[in-house]
Structure 1
Amino acid sequence: MFAGIVRSAKTAAATLITGAVVIGGAFAIPAQDTGEVAVGGLSDKYQSAEVEQLLEDFPDAQDATALIVVSRADGGELAQEDLATVGDITTAAAEFGVEAPPAQVPPIVSENNLVALVPVTLQATTDNGDAVEEEVAELREVISEASGEELTAELTGGAAFSADLAGVFAGANFTLLLFTAIIVAVLLIVTYRSPWLWLVPLAIVATIEQLALHVVEVLEPLTGIGVDPSAVGITSVLVFGAATNYALLLIARYREELRRNDSVYEAMGIALTRTREAIIASGGTVVLALLTLLFTDTLSYRGLGFSAATGVVLAMAGALFLLPAAMVLFGRRLFWPFVPKVGDPSREGKFWGRLGEATFKRPKIIAGSALVVLIAMGAALFNVQIGLSENEQFTEKPQAVTAAETLAEGFPAGSTTPLTVLVDSGSVDTAVGDLQSVDGVDSVSPGSEHDGRTQLSVITGYEAGTDEANAQIKEMREVLADGEYGGLVGGEAAERVDQLAANQHDMTLVVSAVVILIFLVLVALLRALVAPVLLVVTVLLTNFSAAGLSWLLFKYVLDFPAMDTLTLLYAFLFLSALGVDYNIFLVTRAKENARTMGTPKGMLAALRSTGGVITSAGILLAAVFVVLGVLPLVTLTQVGILVAIGVLLDTLVVRTVIVPALTFLLGEKFWWPSNPAGKHGRHSSEQAEPEQDPAGERETAGQGGIARG
């Protein structure tokens, strides 16, 4: 099926034309309004999610509230004339159109006279994010103008945080796409040393990336799965990385075959036949791993799983159909100035051959040393701190965060994100009294009522996401559970507590499912049991080492106080699914070689033929994930760095040293219960002369040497 698309110029052209028609048709389908699709949050089995759903029916459910925070520019106490200016700021805000306290009502001033507070309600409602963002920006200009030179007026609170978070992703897709495309282009140019070869895979990858985002946008309302902006960014990076990896693998094999075949069509047909299994297995593993996210309790995980899985499926299609057709139509001249000719000797693989020879001579010492280093790296993970507070989410603090920090100088730290407690209306007074008895609660204020439930606003002295806030919320829930209140605790801080519980559930689910899926894919691909077990162990080792090393970097270099709850799960998912790709590329080639030369020789030949392309792919993928750091969100920065470190460890240590060493030590037992080497298996463990990859450049067979093991 696959080789048929490059049988001739006509079939290749027909493939490209068909692909263009399909892609054009997909882009012609308009994306519908997402309507009521939930984009973030948790499943309704958690209290905070239940509260959020119940609040939708309250009369003030759509109110977008914010806090104007006023302080002196010099950090001093507010004088009487300053309070008059605060009144002017309140009047200016009211004239702008927000709902603010009447002019005759004195501003709320902290006991230490450092901060004044003015609560406001915007005209825009929470269900119109664009309107909220626009009004917040305009209101900030109004209050800044009214504050004069001696005072500083800033906006924080729920609406301000939402607007600033949305602002983080304003133009994010373009920024990510630009940086990613530049990195991919540079690395492709360095890899192929051709002025135009890089243009073909880059054009196809970029088209597939844009197609993937559009398809997701079209399918989102139909599936009911919401995709948040961070998932869109990760999907772009993942599609670019995966699609380019598949392109590198295919083009490398195509170049090999051009040295043995006069016809570019025959060369590509062989290359496509030999690589399709590895590409499908690798991409299929990533897709299956991503789909496990659909069963998690965190809605943002579900959105990422749906979005990224769609992108990887299209990336595989681009590598298996569009890229081969485009390459053969341009012919050999696409590789200029290093055009591969029939009979040309191979120039690749010398370094990897020498490394393989060294590992073959002392597999226990070399692999053991690498293992000790990786375990030492991972040991730091035992001291990791998990969970960022609300003010720690950004690498560059927006105004909502700086205003919240100013507010905390004079008011309880929880003032910006009050807890929302729902109780039976007949038990309000008792519930208020019990909640006020909880340590750290500053105030409890009854609010609106609906269908027998009353909303209580609880301000605490702890910032959302801190250990103290989490413990306090658990205590509140215990207090309300003991009474006859029908009480539920929600709000930003409560959602942080539930997110930790959901993350523990999701981590257990995803880790278990992904490990089983990877094992089953490897068993089906290699028709073996020993090799899949060992390869899964190496994947887990890479995760462990990368997470430990990353935590040291986060803590002592980047000064992050903790890892976000999303970081480890995202990183495990991508490292496991993408990391096994390189093992698949290597061991499938080694098994192919083992059929004619035995396992040790086959692994050495596989290292020579795949070492360069896999290393290029790993460096490219690591660089692409680091691009996530251009967004000022700690979570995405952490995910990008952790995945990049893991991919480099997997590419440069695990795949090049540990996996070959295991193969040399076990010989034909590595493939048990199958035996691809057949009769070669009786001698390969005794001697591994450097034979050339039978699927690679036979013309250089016999060069170099390895001592007897």
Structure 2
Amino acid sequence: MGAARTDSARSRRRRAVPWLVLGLWIAVLALASPFASKLSDVQRDRAVDYLPASADSTQVAKIQDRLPGGEATELVVVYHRDGGLTAADRATAADQIAEIAGAHTLTARPEAVPSRDGTTLMYPVASTEPGQDEEARDELVGAVRDVAQGGDGLSVEVGGAGALATDASEVYNSLDGPLLYTTAGVVALLLILIYRSPFLWLVPLAVAGIADYLSMGVAYGLNQWFGTSVSGQSSGIMTILVFGAGTDYALLLVSRYREELRRIERPYDAMAAALRGCGPAVLASSGTVAAGLLCLLAADLNSSRGMGPLGTVGVLCALAAMLTLLPAILVLLGRRVFWPLVPRYGSTPKARRSLFAAMGGSAGRRPLTVLAGGAALLGALALGSLNLPGDLKQEDSFTSKPEAVAAMETLAAAYPERGTQPISVIAPTDRADAALAEARDTRGVESAERGRSSGGWTEITVIAAAPPQSAAESATIEALRDNLDGSYVGGASAEQIDLKDTNSRDTMIVVPLVLLSVLLILVALLRSLVAPLLLVAAVVAVWGAALGIGGLVFEPLFGFEGTDPGLGLLSFVFLVALGVDYGIFLMHRMREESLTGAEPAEAALTALRTTGGVIASAGLVLAATFAVLTNMPMVQLVELGFVIAVGVLLDTFLVRTYLVTSASVALRRRVWWPGPLSRAPEEPAPVPERQTVGA
């Protein structure tokens, strides 16, 4: 009777645990809900929000905020007629500019700058009305565009740094919905194909959506408590990671749970066994990704530094949801959630010829040949990175052309001999006159005018003789910084220079940190030095090859005019951190097989045969989620999504299946050096023959 009561009590507790977990998640979501909806309110996408605090252009923006009226919004109103402007066109332009000046607080009266060919009239317009308020800036740009109208062959476009920021902000603000829906749709389609069930795919997809909502609340909290920067790029990447990494963890758990249901009668007990089996690998995997992303905290670039914590939040929220909420829901739904392929207790799966067994067999027969061929292929692909286009200019950052970019193109054609974008110099007021004179004497400067003063600082507006973001203008900005001691040089073009320089510095610091942190985690997990070095070398080779493929297609196929300066660093961090995931799944299973006494070659091939299908499914899902970025309207996102998606596919179907397996077969026990598995098991001592009495 006592045993029966004990079993009954244990059964009640088992039934209660999933409901308790579900209740806790409902409570957590209720707490996170007020914060999740506010994440878009703290998202900032000004160029200066991406820059490091130490950059000249950042200091300029901060000081401009303290000047009368705050940071000025720089606009350029461009009037153009192909056959040449008429007197009526000039009168229309003058009237519209006068209306704009009368309706808004401008830093100076706009003066017309005609082009030499008579086709274009440019009016620089600067207003301090918006200050730091992005919404007010967007309203100002909209109001100016409402007034500046053409017709009958006269085109009117509003460009400049302020208009470009507004157009970029509109693009980033429009990403949230399409990015989420497209990602969810892609994941849903792949899960339906993988699970071949009309119901099962809904569970991990819904759990991933819940994890994404939770991550938004946590990200808002980080912004409020620690000042973590939030940009459209970082919040979009966070969503991608939640769905990509979360679905990967779900695939591993559900696959193991299906196996255990055939072996164990009760779903609760089967889920417990599944968590014990795959939990350590999933925890190690997520820990590696989190550690790699957190290395971005060492970056000086605000956008990269902010992406580290947000990406980590996404991975950890996905991990928490997939190891608690997903198991609870699956246990509550029971075996029927797998319909029509329900894993019956005591049944055995239908034996089928495994593709990965065949692939592993070829790698096992000629490991050195496969290894050499794969390494040569990756090396050849990496050479394509030499064909990457130059640095991406602001006007080339959009896949479709907004009005601000069209205005800049019109200006570049009409004023090829001069700059059309102001360079902002902030000088100490007691040295403002000397700084103004030095600026005017600097080679490449066409004009310089003194502006606002306050708090010991004076603003000087400089126009370069060269077009914006050209090599000659960059040389002028560097000359100004060299000549004007104690002053800061900023503006849109200076910001791009600072972005490039800071990315180069960050790469030198973050890359070694990522490699070291990932290597240490792998050493602790696999208890070996050779296996971790093999995995890290493999993912670095994948990164180089993926970047090389990007170099082969970005300009010739996609028509991109430049490469985002942060592409190399961000793609490296993501591909190394995420690519090592699959290596962990494979090598962890290989180690398990070796611990049971399997020979090294047999252990490697068994690990590939048993985990290959799950790793392939997980790789496809992760690649597809990052591929969603290639449909976004920002070139930076398209390039990043393409390189990571291609890298994940290379890692999944070439490196993991062939190169790591063949290297493990070739190295044999040396792959586990210097751990105990690297030593051959001792032969048991022979049992001496029993001597007969009296012999």
Q: Which TM-score applies when normalising by structure 1? A: 0.89
Shift of 1:319: 1.3
SS of corresponding position for 2:398: coil
Alignment of 1:368-517 (within 5 A): 368-411=372-415, 415-481=419-485, 486-517=486-517
What RMSD over aligned residues (CA atoms) do the two structures have, in Å?
A: 2.6
Per mean C-alpha deviation after superposition, the further-off stretch among 548-557 and 124-133 is 124-133
Please point out which of 12, 16, 20 is paired with 2:18: 12
Q: Is the 8 A contact 1:48 1:495 kept in 2?
A: yes
Cα deviation, residue 139, structure 1: 2.8
1:191 aligns with 2:194: yes
Preserved contact between residue 130 and residue 140 of structure 2 (Cα < 8 Å) = no
The one-letter code of the counterpart of 1:495 is E
Provide closer, same or farther for how the CA distance between residues 682 and 60 of structure 1 changes in structure 2, counting only shifts above 3 A: farther
Match of 1:238 among 232, 236, 241: 241
Residue type at the aligned position of 1:19: W
CA distances 1:605-655 after superposition (whole Å, capped 9, x unpaired): 211111111111111111111111232111111000000010000001001
Could you say which residue in structure 1 is the equivalent of 2:33?
A: 27
Alignment map for 1:111-130 (pairs within 5 Å): 111-122=116-127, 124-130=129-135
CA 1:51–1:112 in structure 2 vs 1: closer, same or farther (change >3 Å)?
Answer: same
2:327 maps to: 324
Choose which of 173, 176, 181 in structure 2 pairs with 1:178: 181
- Does 658-667 or 421-430 show the bigger shift? 421-430
Q: Give the corresponding residue for 2:557.
A: 557
- With over 3 angstroms needed to count, the CA separation of the structure-2 counterparts of 1:270 and 1:409, relative to structure 1, is same
Equivalent pairs, count:
670
**What secondary structure sits across from 2:265 in the alignment?**
coil
Q: Does 1:367 align with 2:368?
A: no
1:324-375 C-alpha deviation (Å, 9 max, x unpaired): 1111211111111111222323556710001101110001111211111110
Counterpart contact for 2:397–2:636, Cα < 8 Å: yes
* Structure 1 residues 177 and 265: alpha-carbon distance in aligned structure 2, compared to 1, 3 A threshold: same
Superimposed CA distance per residue, residues 19-39 of structure 1 (whole angstroms, 9 cap, x where no aligned partner): 222222222458597599998
In the other structure, the counterpart of 2:357 is: 353
Verify the 8 A CA contact 2:159 2:405 in the aligned structure 1: yes
Q: Is the 8 A contact 2:197 2:338 kept in 1?
A: yes
Match of 2:690 in 1: none
Is there any run of 5+ residues in structure 1 with no aligned partner, and where? 684-709
With over 3 angstroms needed to count, the CA separation of the structure-2 counterparts of 1:250 and 1:648, relative to structure 1, is same
**Residue in 2 aligned with 1:78?**
85
1:546 Cα deviation from its structure 2 partner: 0.8
User: In structure 2, what is the Cα distance between the partners aligned to 1:349 and 1:203?
Assistant: 33
How far apart, CA to CA, are the structure 2 residues paired with 1:177 and 1:34? 19
Q: Which residue of 1 aligns with 2:341?
A: 338
Select between 39-48 and 622-631 the one with higher mean Cα deviation.
39-48
For structure 1, which segment, 577-586 or 113-122, has the greater mean C-alpha deviation from structure 2 after superposition? 113-122
Measured in 2, the distance between the counterparts of 1:37 and 1:233 equals 12
Measured after TM superposition, the shift of residue 414 of structure 1 is: 7.0
- 2:64–2:72: 8 Å Cα contact kept in structure 1? no
Q: Contact 1:69–1:156 at 8 Å: present in 2 too?
A: yes
Q: Match for 2:217 among 196, 199, 214? A: 214
CA shift for structure 1 position 131? 2.3
How has the CA–CA distance of structure 1 residues 334 and 177 changed in structure 2, closer, same or farther, with 3 Å as cutoff? same
Amino acid at match of 1:540: V
**Contact 1:615-1:652 at 8 Å conserved across structures:** yes
Q: Which residue of 2 aligns with 1:688?
A: none
Aligned residue identity for 1:286: V
Q: Given the superposition, is the C-alpha separation of residues 456 and 588 from structure 1 closer, same or farther in structure 2, using an over 3 Å criterion?
A: same
SS at match of 2:49: coil
Distance 1:65 1:267, change over 3 A: same
Is 1:420–1:456's contact at 8 Å kept on the other side of the alignment? yes
* CA offset digits 1:290-314 (Å, max 9, x no partner): 1111221111112211211111111
Letter in 1 for 2:145: R
Which consecutive unaligned segments of at least 5 residues does structure 2 have? 1-9, 685-695
The alpha carbon displacement at 1:91 in A equals 3.9
Pair 159,183 (structure 1): closer, same or farther in 2 beyond 3 Å: same
Corresponding residue SS for 2:53: coil
User: Does 1:266 find its partner at 2:269?
Assistant: yes
- Please give the residue correspondences for 1:20-99 in structure 2 after superposition, counting only pairs within 5 Å: 20-28=26-34, 31=38, 40-72=49-81, 75-94=82-101, 97=104, 99=106
Residue-by-residue CA offset, 1:642-683 (whole Å, 9 max, x unaligned):
000100000010011000001101112211222348866999
Tell me if structure 2 keeps the 8 A contact 1:227–1:303: yes
Query: How many angstroms does 1:480 deviate by?
Result: 2.4
2:132 counterpart of 1:132: no
Whole-Å Cα distance in 1 between the matches of residues 488 and 295 of structure 2?
Answer: 30
Shift of 1:7: 7.8
* Residue pairs, 1:652-691, within 5 angstroms: 652-676=653-677
Contact 2:256 2:274 survives alignment (8 Å): yes
Alignment check: 8 A CA contact 2:69 2:129 kept:
no
Classify the secondary structure of the residue corresponding to 2:484. Answer: helix
Distance in 2 (alpha carbons) for counterparts of 1:212 and 1:80? 58
In 2, Cα distance between equivalents of 1:245 and 1:469: 48
Q: Tell me: CA distance 1:91–1:58, structure 2 relative to 1, closer, same or farther (3 Å).
A: closer
**Mapped partners of 1:568, 1:459: distance in 2:** 32
Question: Which amino acid counterpart does residue 246 of structure 2 have in structure 1?
Answer: A
CA distance, structure 1, for counterparts of residue 446 and residue 370 of structure 2: 61
2-structure distance, mates of 1:266, 1:455: 71
Name the SS of the counterpart of 1:148 in structure 2. coil
Aligned 8 A contact 1:212 1:310 in 2: yes
- Counterpart-to-counterpart distance in 1, 2:682 and 2:653: 28
Maintained 8 Å contact 1:86/1:107? no
Task: Give the partner amino acid of 2:307.
Answer: L
Which is further off, 57-66 or 369-378? 57-66
2:243 and 2:124 mapped to 1: Cα distance?
A: 45
Q: CA deviation at 1:159?
A: 1.8
Deviation (angstroms), 1:106: 7.0
Q: Are residues 216 and 563 of structure 1, via their aligned partners in 2, closer, same or farther at CA, if it must alter by over 3 Å? A: same
SS at match of 2:413: coil
Q: 2: distance between equivalents of 1:54 and 1:91? A: 29
Letter aligned with residue 445 of structure 1: E
Deviates more, 1:333-342 or 1:255-264: 255-264
How do 1:687-702 residues align onto structure 2 when only pairs under 5 Å count? none
Percent identical residues? 36
Task: State the Cα deviation string for residues 395-430 of structure 1 (Å, max 9, x = none).
Answer: 111101101111223336875531111234454454
Instruction: Measure, in 1, the Cα distance between the counterparts of 2:470 and 2:249.
Output: 43
Which residue in 2 is equivalent to 1:706? none
* Distance (Å, rounded) in 2 between the aligned partners of 1:139 and 1:480: 35
Equivalent-residue separation in structure 1 for 2:602 and 2:416 (angstroms): 69
Aligned equivalent of 1:609: 610
Aligned-partner Cα distance in 2 for 1:395–1:682: 67
